[in-house]
Chains A and B, each alone.
Chain A
Amino acid sequence: MKPVAFDIVRPRSVTEVVVLLSGSGGDASIIAGAQSLGPMLNLRLVRPRILIDITGIPELTKVDEDDECVTIGTCVTTASIEDGKLPRTGLAMLPAVAADIAYRAVRNRGTIGGSVCHADPAADWPAALCGLGASCIIAGPGGRRTLPIDEFIVGAFENAMGDGEVLVAIRIPRLSAKAKWGYQKLSRKTGEFAMAVAAIKIDPERDIFRMAFGATEGRQIVIPDFRPLRRDDGLELDEAAVAATLAGRGIANPIASRQQVTVMQRAFRQALS
C-alpha cells in the first residue's frame, strides 16, 4: 500500500493553483489534509502525477465575517473549528459537529474544504453544511463563482468543479438570535463514517425550516422547508411522512429508512429542546 511516484508543489497563491491545475492536463490533484486522499493514494485508487499542496496559501486558512455570513477558508482544519477558532457567530453547531468527526488525529489534519470536495455521502461536513444552507466559493480560470453546497455536491464523491477550479472558502449564513439547530448521526463506533446523518436548522425570523440527510446512497438529501413533515402539534416529526419523503428520494431500504427517520427525529427534538 504505497502510492505511485508523484511530484508535489506548494503554491503560495490561489492564482498559482489555478494556473497549475489548468496546465496539468487533468493529471494533478489538490491535497490539503490528506485524510481521504492519503489512503486513496496508498491504495492506488488515484494516481495523480502532481499533487498541489494548498495548505501554505494564507487566504485559504482565513476566517472572515460580516453581518450576513461567516466565511471559512477551505484549509481550516476540523480541529481548529472544534477548538473554537471561529468567531462567536451563533454557529455553535460547527464546533459540535467538528468534535464528533473521526478521531482527533484526523481532525488535526483534515480540512473542512477537503471534506466538502471529497463529497463522501457519509461524511459530516457536507451534511451539516447542507443543513445550514452554506455555499461554496470557487476560483477558476474564469474568475470566482459561488454555488449553494447542495449544487456544489452533485453525487457520491462528485462535485461540480470543472477543470482548473479550486474551492476557496465556504460561506455560512449567520443564525438569528432565536434560531435552533440539531445535528445527530448514527455510527457503529466512534470515528467511523455514519450510517445516517441528520442536520436541522430552524430560524423562524428568516423563515428557514431546513433539514438535510447524509449517509445516503448519493448526495445529501435537502428538505428546504420541512414544516409539512411535522406532526400537528409541532413537537415531533411525523415519522411516516418523513419516511415517505425519503422513499420518494430513493431511500427505499426499510432499515436505512428507519435509521434515517430515527436520527432525524432525534435531531428535531434536540433542536426544540
Chain B
Amino acid sequence: MAKNDAPQRFGVGQPVLRKEDDRFLRGRGEYVGDIRLDRMQEVAFVRSPVAHARLTRVNIPQQFRECVFTADDLVGVNPILSAPPGKNFKRSFQPILATTKMRYVGELVAICYAPTRAEAEDIAQSVVVEYEELPAVVDMLEACRDGSPLVHEEWNNNAVVEFRREAAIEDVARTAAVKVQHRIRTSRHCMFPMEGRGVIGYRDARLKFLTIISSTQFPHCVQTGLSETLGISDGDIRVISPDVGGGFGCKGLLSCEEVVIAWLARRVDHPVRWLEDCREHLSANANCREHHYDITCYASQDGKILALDCVAHVDAGAYSAYPVSSSVEAAQIANLLPGPYIIPAYRCRSIAVATNKCPILPYRGVARPGVCLAMEVCMDSIAREIGIEPYELRLLNMVHPAQMKDGAATGKQFDSGDHPECLRLAVEKIDLAAVRHRQRSGEADGRLIGIGLSFFVEQGAMGTSVMAGWGRPIVPGYEQASVKLTADGDLEVKVGTHSHGQGHETTFAQIAHEILGIEFDRIKVMQGDTLNTPYSTATWGSRGIVMGGGAVAAASRIISTRAAAIGAWLLQDDPANVTVANGRVSGKNSSVSLREVARCWYLQPQNLPSGVDRGGLEVVEGYRAGSDLGTFSYATHAAVVAVDPGTGLIEILDYVVVEDGGTMINPMIVDGQICGGTAQGIGSCLYEATPFDSQGQPLASTLIDYILPGATEVPNVRIFHMETPSPHTEFGVKGIGEGGAVGPPAALLCAINDALRSKGVAIHELPVTPGRILEALQRGPMSAAVSGGQQ
C-alpha cells in the first residue's frame, strides 16, 4: 500500500482538517447577523458624544417616544458592578444607559429601534442629548496627579487599585555594576475580531424563556450577569451563542448592550437585534493594552540580574468590566513582570487608573504582551551594557529544567519543559550568526538590519483556587462535558466552553475519538446554548482545550467503562478482560460494536446484564486539572527586521517561533493559534493605536485611521514545536491560545532597536510608526535619555 493510501487518523496529535471549515469556507456559518426572525426589529444606540459630562436631559421627538428608551425607563435594572473583594479596590457602578453622567465617548445614552438599522439610526440622530461638559481625564499619568479631575466624583483619586510587590533593593541599587532604566509605553488599541458583537433578544412563549442570542465567548456567564442586572431568575433566561467570529476577550464580558437588549425584549412583543458596526467597535468598545512602565533593572558585570524595580500604570478606562474587573491587568503586571527569569530582588507597584475612556478589556494575553516587552527591553539593554549577545544574557538568568518546581522571581512553580533549549533552538533557527554577518556587511539599499528575541511563559487554564484568589465573581470549578452514545452508536458531545475560532468541534471530537474509537464523522460536538450544555465559565485564558477537552475525555472514559460492561455481558466475557477501541468492545476471541451495545441499552434492554449502570450511555462528568496553577506553555519569538532610515518603514524579513505547548491535540490548529496571535502582536507593535485628543475624543473611529496588519504585512511565521507534556492534564496538553500575541511586540521592538543601535537611538513607545522612527533618527543619540533610553 502506498504511503498516501494509509487510512487517515483522527486521534490526539493528528492535524485533522477542521469540521467547522466546511460551513465557514462556504459562507454557511450562522452568526448573529445571519439570523432571521419573524417581525425582528433593529436597534441603534444614542451614544455619548463627549468624554465627560453631566447629563442634563435627553430630548426625544414626540413621534419617536414609543421606540426610544433612556435610563429613566430602565426601572429595576441594576448597574453592572464588577469589584473584587477588598477595600483597596474602588468600586464603580456602570449604568446600563447613562443616568446622571457620561464618562466616555460612546457610552450608551438611549436605545432606539425600527424595522431597519438605517431607520433606527435616523431616529437615534433625532434624539438630542443635553449636557454640561466636565474636564476629561485622558492621560493615566496626569490622572494620578493631585488636583486631577475625577472620573468618579465619589472617589478621592483616580487610582482604581494598586498592587505591590516589596523587596529591599536599595543596597543592590547602590552597588550594582549595571543599571538600565526605561520608560516604556504601549498603545491603547482595539481587538477587532472579524465579527463584531451582536445581540438578539426575544420572548420564547413556548419554553417561557427570555432568549438572548449573543456573539459571546461565554453564554452561561451572560445568563448569570443578565439575571443579576435584570433582577430575574436565571431559570427564565436562555442564552445562545451561535457561530462567533473571534472574540479575543471582548466577547468575554457582560456588555451593557446585552443587558439593554434583554430589557427591551421583555418590553416589546417582537424580537430586537443590535449589530455592532465598525465605528462602534473602534470608538467605544474593546479598548485594550494601554500600559506605562518606569522600569529599572540592576545586574552584575557578569550578567546576573540582581534586582528589578518597576512602577507600572494601566489606563483602565471609566468602568470595571464584568466579571474580569479593571484590576486584572495591573494584578498581572505585578504577578508576571519578571516572567521566566530568576531575579533575587523584585519590587513593583502597578496601578490601574480610571480615565474618561471606554473600559479596558483583557485582550489575548491580557497584560503579558506589555510585561514581556518591558522585561525583554531591559534584558537587551543589560546585554549591550556588558557586551554580550542578548540571548546569552537571557540564558544566564533563566530557570533551568531542574529548577522548574522553584519557579522564577514571582514564585510561580512551572510544570514542565526546557526553557533554555527553547531559546537556543530559536537562535539556531533564525541563524543569528548569519544575521549578524549581514548586519555588519550593510545593505545595498541603506536599510538597517536588526534582530530581536523575546521569551515568555504563558500560564493558561488557571483553576479554582487561583481564580478565587483573584476575587472573581464567577470562579471556574469542575469543567463539565455531557457525552451520549446514541442508539446508532454515534456520539453527541455537549460542552459549556464555546469555540469562537479555536476549532473545538474538531479537537474535542479528536479527544473522544482517541478514547472510544468511534468514527470521527459520527462524533458531533455541540456548544453555545445554556439550555442544553453544562454551566461553564467557557472559553478564555487559554483554558478551552485543557478544561473542556479534559472534561470530554473524562466523560468519554465513563462511557467507555459502561459500554465495556454491557459489551462484556453480550460477549459473555469478564468486564476486566474487554477493551474499548476502534468503536468496538473486544474480548479475547470476539468483539461487539458500540452500536450493538447502544442498541441493547436503548432498544433491547431485556438483554442487559443485571446490575447494569442505570446512568446508561449518557454521562455528565466534571474535570479539574491536577494543579490549579494550570499549565505553563512557553515560547521564543525571534524576528529579523529591516528599517528604512529614509522613510521609517519597517519590513519583517524573518520570523521564527519556537513553542512548547505540551502535547498537541491538533498541530495544525496549534499553528493557526500561533500565526493568528503573532499577526495581532505585529499589529500591537507596528500598527494599531487608538489615540485620543485632549478632550477624550477617540481619533481612530474608522479603518481609515485605524490600521490593522493584513495578509501582506504578516510574514511567513516559521514555527517549530517542542512537546513536553504537562504532568497535570489529560494527554499532557497545555493552553496555547494567547502566546502568539504575547511575543511579537518585544521581539520586534528589540529587533528594531538592534537595527537603530548603529545610529545611537532607541524607541520605547508603541506602535513603532515610520514617524517615530524618523523622529528618533532626526533627534539623534542625544535623545536617548529623553525618549527613555539607557541612562
Residues of A within 8 A of B (CB): 1-5, 39, 43-44, 186, 188-193, 195-196, 254-255, 258-259, 262-263, 265-266
- Please give, as numbers and ranges, the residues of chain B lying within 8 Å of A266 by CB-CB distance: 646
- Within 8 Å CB of A190, what residues of B? 710, 712-713
CB nearest to B644 among chain A residues:
A262
Shortest distance in angstroms between B642's beta carbon and chain A's nearest beta carbon? 15
| Closest chain B residue to A266, Cβ basis | B646
Q: Is B702 an interface residue (CB 8 A)?
A: yes
Residues of A within 8 A of B401 (CB): none
What separation, in Å, do the CA atoms of A255 and B775 have in the docked complex?
7
With A190-B712, A190-B713 as known contacts, state yes or no: A1 contacts B278, CB within 8 Å. yes
State the Cβ distance, A257 to closest chain B Cβ, in Å: 10
Contact (Cβ within 8 A) A255 B118: no
Asked if B770 contacts A195 (CB within 8 A), the reply is: yes
B643 to chain A, nearest CB (A): 13
B709 at the interface (CB under 8 A from A): yes
14 new A-B pairs (CB below 8 Å) besides A5-B122, A44-B121? Answer: A1-B121, A2-B116, A4-B118, A39-B702, A186-B770, A188-B770, A189-B687, A189-B707, A190-B712, A191-B710, A192-B707, A254-B778, A265-B646, A266-B646
Q: Is B279 within 8 A of A1, CB to CB?
A: yes
Residues of A within 8 A of B125 (CB): 44
Query: Which residues on the A side are within 8 Å of B775 (C-beta)?
Result: 255
Q: Is residue B607 within 8 Å, beta carbon to beta carbon, of the partner chain?
A: no
Which residues 748-791 of B sit at the A interface, judged by CB distance below 8 A? Answer: 769-771, 774-775, 778
Point out the residues of chain B lying under 8 angstroms from A189, CB to CB. 687, 707, 709-710, 712-713
- In the complex, A254→B773 CA distance in Å? 12
Q: A144 to chain B: closest CB distance in Å?
A: 34
Q: Is the CB of A186 within 8 A of B649?
A: yes
CB-nearest residue of chain A relative to B773?
A255
Q: Which of A3, A39, A193, A258 has the most CB of B within 10 A?
A: A258
Q: Does B647 contact A (CB under 8 A)?
A: yes
Q: Are B704 and A259 in contact (CB under 8 A)?
A: no
Residue of B nearest to A191 (CB): B710
Q: Which residues of A contact B649 (CB under 8 A)?
A: 186, 188
Contact B118 A3 (CB under 8 A): yes
B117 at the A interface (CB under 8 A): yes
B277 at the interface (CB under 8 A from A): yes
Determine how close the nearest CB of chain B comes to the CB of A56; give it in whole angstroms: 25
Residues of B in contact, count (CB < 8 Å) = 27
CA distance A195 to B122 in the complex (A): 35
Contacts of A43 in B (CB 8 A): 279, 702
On whether the beta carbons of A263 and B647 are closer than 8 Å, the reply is yes
Tell me if A258 and B279 are in contact (CB < 8 A).
no
Given contacts A189-B713, A259-B647, contact A5 B771 (CB under 8 A): no
- Most B CB atoms within 10 A — which of A2, A5, A192, A263? A2
Q: Which residues of A contact B687 (CB under 8 A)?
A: 188-189
Q: Please encode chain B, from 727 to 744, with 1 for each CB lying within 8 Å of some chain A CB and 0 for all others.
A: 000000000000000000
Q: Which residues of B contact A44 (CB under 8 A)?
A: 121, 125
Binding site for A on B (CB under 8 A): 116-118, 121-122, 125, 277-279, 646-649, 687, 702, 704, 707, 709-710, 712-713, 769-771, 774-775, 778
B710 touches A258 (CB 8 A): no
Q: In the assembly, what is the distance between CA of A102 and CA of B433, in Å?
A: 38
Q: Which residues of B contact A196 (CB under 8 A)?
A: 647
A189 to B646, CA, bound (A): 16
**Chain B: which residue is nearest A256 at the CB level?**
B771
Cβ-closest 6 pairs across A and B: A262-B646, A2-B118, A190-B712, A1-B277, A255-B774, A189-B713
Cross-chain pairs A/B with CB under 8 angstroms, 25 sampled: A1-B277, A1-B278, A2-B118, A4-B122, A5-B122, A39-B702, A39-B704, A44-B121, A186-B649, A188-B707, A188-B769, A188-B770, A191-B710, A191-B712, A196-B647, A254-B778, A255-B771, A255-B774, A255-B778, A258-B647, A258-B774, A258-B778, A262-B647, A265-B646, A266-B646
User: CA–CA, A110 to B191, complex, Å?
Assistant: 29
Would you call B118 and A186 a contact (CB within 8 A)?
Answer: no
Q: Find chain B residues with CB under 8 A from A263 CB.
A: 647
Contacts of B279 in A (CB 8 A): 1, 43
A188 to B709 CA separation, bound complex (whole angstroms): 9
In the bound complex, residues from chain A placing their C-beta under 8 Å from that of B121 are 1-2, 44
- Whole-angstrom CA separation of A14 from B775 in the bound complex: 50
Hey, which chain A residues are within 8 Å of B122, CB to CB? 4-5
State the Cβ distance, A102 to closest chain B Cβ, in Å.
11
> Please, how many angstroms separate the alpha-carbon atoms of A4 and B117 in the complex?
10
* A5 to B277 alpha-carbon distance, docked (Å): 19
Name the B residues within 8 Å of A259 (CB-CB).
646-648, 770, 774
**Dominant secondary structure at the A interface:** loop
Give the most central of A3, A188, A192, A265: most B CB within 10 Å: A188
Interface contact B704-A193, CB-CB below 8 Å: yes
A-chain residues with CB within 8 Å of residue B117 when the two chains form the complex:
2
Which chain A residue shows the least CB distance to B279? Answer: A1
Partner of B647, one of A2, A186, A193: A186
From residue A2, how far is it (CB to closest CB) to chain B in Å?
Answer: 4
Distance in angstroms from A45 CB to nearest chain B CB is: 10
- B118: contacting residue among A5, A192, A195, CB under 8 A: A5
Task: Output the nearest chain B residue to A5 by Cβ-Cβ distance.
Answer: B118
In the complex, what distance in Å separates the CA atom of A186 from the CA atom of B118? 37
CA distance A196 to B774 in the complex (A): 14
Whose C-beta in chain B lies nearest to the C-beta of A239? Answer: B646
| Distance to closest chain B CB from A36 (angstroms) | 10
Residues of A within 8 Å of B771, CB to CB, are 255
Minimum CB distance partner of B280 in chain A:
A1
A263 to B116, CA, bound (A): 47
Complex Cα distance, B774 from A186, in Å, reads 13
Residues of B close to A262: CB separation below 8 A: 646-647
* C-alpha spacing A192/B771, complex, angstroms: 16
A263 to B709, CA, bound (A): 22
Least Cβ distance of A256 to chain B in Å? Answer: 9
Instruction: Tell which of A39, A44, A259, A263 has the most Cβ of chain B within 10 Å.
Output: A259
- Quick one: which of B687, B709, B774 has the most chain A CB within 10 A? B774
- Complex CA gap A189/B687 in Å reads 9
Q: Within the assembled complex, what's the spacing in Å between the Cα atoms of A247 and B778?
A: 17
Please measure, in the bound complex, the distance between the C-alpha atom of A2 and the C-alpha atom of B275, giving whole angstroms: 12
Nearest-neighbour CB distance to chain B for A37, whole angstroms, equals: 14
In the assembled complex, which residues on chain A have CB atoms less than 8 Å from the CB atom of B778? 254-255, 258
Expressed in whole angstroms, the minimum distance between the Cβ of A238 and any Cβ of chain B is 15
Identity of the chain B residue whose Cβ is nearest the Cβ of A186 in the assembled complex: B647
Q: How far is the CB of A182 from chain B (nearest CB, A)?
A: 15
Q: Which among A4, A43, A195, A255 has the highest number of chain B CB atoms within 10 Å?
A: A255
- Rounded to whole Å, the gap between the CB of B125 and the closest CB of chain A is 8
Q: Which residue of A lies closest to B650 (CB)?
A: A188
State in angstroms the CA–CA spacing of A263 and B713 once bound together. 20
Task: Name the distance in Å between B594's Cβ and chain A's nearest Cβ.
Answer: 49
A254-B647 Cα distance, complex, nearest whole Å: 12
The chain B residue sitting closest to A1, CB to CB, is B277
A12 to B453, CA, bound (A): 62
Find the B residue at minimum CB distance from A188. B707
The docked-state distance in angstroms from the alpha carbon of A191 to that of B709 is 11
Contacts of A2 in B (CB 8 A): 116-118, 121
Give every chain A residue within 8 A of B647 (Cβ-Cβ).
186, 196, 258-259, 262-263
| Residues on A with beta carbons closer than 8 Å to the beta carbon of B769 | 188
The docked-state distance in angstroms from the alpha carbon of A255 to that of B779 is 11
Distance A87 CA – B118 CA, assembled complex (angstroms): 44
CA distance A188 to B649 in the complex (A): 7
Could you say which residues of chain A place their CB within 8 Å of the CB of B648? Answer: 255, 259
- A255 proximity list for chain B (CB < 8 A): 648, 771, 774-775, 778
B703, chain A: closest CB distance, angstroms: 9
Q: Tell me the smallest distance from the CB of A98 to a CB of chain B, in Å.
A: 17
Query: Please, which residue of chain B has its CB at the minimum distance from the CB of A254?
Result: B778
Look across to chain A and name the residue whose beta carbon is closest to the beta carbon of B42. Answer: A2
Chain A neighbourhood of B646, CB < 8 A: 258-259, 262, 265-266
CB contacts (< 8 Å) of A195 on chain B: these are 770
For B774, list chain A residues within 8 Å (CB): 254-255, 258-259
